[in-house]
């Protein structure tokens, strides 16, 4: 066995141990100087956005990230029912705050996009903690989109609800608004569906709030959502409950798990009088979106995205801000 092979095996075993023997890596190494330059560029992009919105905590977290400790690996496996299954991902935010990227990603033109996306995850993920509220309920005080009060029993508070769809929608939207509009992007498919869901929720909140407050618009709704993403304030989910009812957060938490629950949610958040853009027909448009084909849902997402980007994306020319 060569010295290089022995070193790779040792790194693999060390990482395998830190993940309680659930994840195994092969061919682990640190980033090259060229890869470090891309990672530094990605960090700079994220920090610039965080400074733009005044997130000092996020900036501090990004500056502390040790880029030379980022893992580049050949293959990644997950232990399931006693068998190792290979995982193919573009990037990953690890539990120990060390980023991970497969070699195929760092060699592709989407590496910068994936790095910015994962770094936004890093900027938003603080230490989880549970806090008892005045009414005896517990809330999860953590960054990212986190849960509303979930029970009076402290043991119930340990049942974390992770809003995968909303967190990914926020992360991908922030990434696209931070990069130039002509940047090569990596994430489509379900990410488009998640972003579409977020756009619809934002506009529903604007519709409801503006009825009593004409000054409340899309920009204000985005700021509430963004604050929830980085600080875990629960304000956005509270607005969602006001607009759609108390069960909506649970539906959002389950979004993406099954066709029937997804259809139920989409029908509830996107009521339409058009015969070919509601119910099963609308779900068909969303399926086409996920598959990468043109659809009415894709066209509406592009329209919504352009409107929101014009309001909240940082501009390089200070005179335009």
Residues 6+ apart with CB under 8 A from 157: 130, 138, 140, 150, 151
192 and 104 assigned to the same domain = no
pLDDT at 190 over 60: yes
Domain span including residue 287:
181-316
307 and 194 assigned to the same domain = yes
| 235 in a structural domain | yes
Domains in the chain, number: 2
213 and 95 assigned to the same domain = no
Residue 129, CA distances (Å) to 140, 141, 154, 320 in order: 6, 5, 12, 40
pLDDT at 8 over 60: no
Give me 99's structure tokens.
């980023």
Using the 3D structure, point to which of 124, 147, 167 is the last residue of a domain: 124
229 and 118 assigned to the same domain = no
| 104 in a structural domain | yes
| 167 in a structural domain | no
94 and 186 assigned to the same domain = no
- pLDDT confidence of 161, banded at 50, 70, 90? low
pLDDT of residue 133: 54
Residues 6+ apart with CB under 8 A from 81: none
| 303 in a structural domain | yes
pLDDT at 320 over 60: no
| 156 in a structural domain | no
| 17 in a structural domain | yes
- Averaged pLDDT, 6-19: 49
pLDDT of residue 250: 77
| 206 in a structural domain | yes
**What is the number of residues in the chain?**
321
115 and 190 assigned to the same domain = no
pLDDT at 252 over 80: yes
- Rounded CA gap, 10 and 239, in Å? 49
112 and 201 assigned to the same domain = no
| 300 in a structural domain | yes
Using the 3D structure, point to which of 124, 139, 169 is the last residue of a domain: 124
pLDDT at 234 over 50: yes
pLDDT at 63 over 70: yes
Number of continuous H segments (helices) and E segments (strands) in the chain: 13, 8
pLDDT at 14 over 90: no
Using the 3D structure, point to which of 81, 100, 124 is the last residue of a domain: 124
192 and 312 assigned to the same domain = yes
């Amino acid at each position: 066995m060569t010295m290089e092979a022995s070193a790779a095996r040792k790194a693999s075993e060390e990482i395998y141990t830190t993940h309680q023997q659930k994840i195994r890596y092969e061919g682990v190494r640190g980033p090259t100087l060229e890869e470090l330059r891309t990672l530094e560029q990605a960090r700079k992009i994220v920090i610039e956005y965080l400074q733009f919105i005044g997130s000092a905590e996020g900036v501090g977290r990004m500056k502390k990230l040790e880029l030379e400790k980022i893992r580049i690996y050949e293959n990644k496996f997950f232990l399931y029912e006693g068998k190792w299954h290979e995982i193919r991902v573009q990037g990953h935010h690890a539990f120990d705050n060390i980023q991970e990227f497969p070699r195929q990603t760092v060699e592709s033109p989407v590496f910068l996009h994936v790095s910015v996306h994962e770094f936004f995850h890093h900027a938003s993920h603080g230490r989880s903690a549970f806090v008892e509220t005045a009414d005896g309920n517990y809330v999860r005080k953590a960054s990212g989109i986190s849960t509303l009060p979930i029970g009076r029993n402290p043991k119930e508070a340990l049942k974390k609800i992770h809003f995968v769809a909303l967190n990914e929608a926020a992360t991908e939207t922030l990434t696209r608004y931070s990069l130039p509009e002509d940047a090569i992007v990596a994430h489509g498919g379900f990410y488009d569906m998640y972003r579409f869901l977020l756009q619809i929720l934002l506009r529903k909140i604007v519709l409801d709030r503006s009825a009593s407050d004409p000054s409340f618009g899309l920009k204000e709704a985005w700021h509430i959502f963004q604050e929830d993403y980085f600080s875990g304030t629960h304000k956005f989910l509270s607005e969602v409950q006001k607009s759609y009812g108390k069960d909506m957060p649970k539906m959002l938490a389950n979004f993406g798990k099954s066709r029937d629950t997804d259809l139920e949610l989409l029908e509830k958040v996107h009521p339409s009088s058009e015969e070919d853009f509601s119910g099963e027909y609308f779900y068909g448009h969303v399926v086409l979106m996920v598959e990468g084909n043109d659809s009415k849902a894709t066209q509406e997402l592009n329209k919504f995205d352009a409107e929101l980007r014009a309001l909240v994306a940082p501009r390089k020319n200070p005179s335009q801000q």
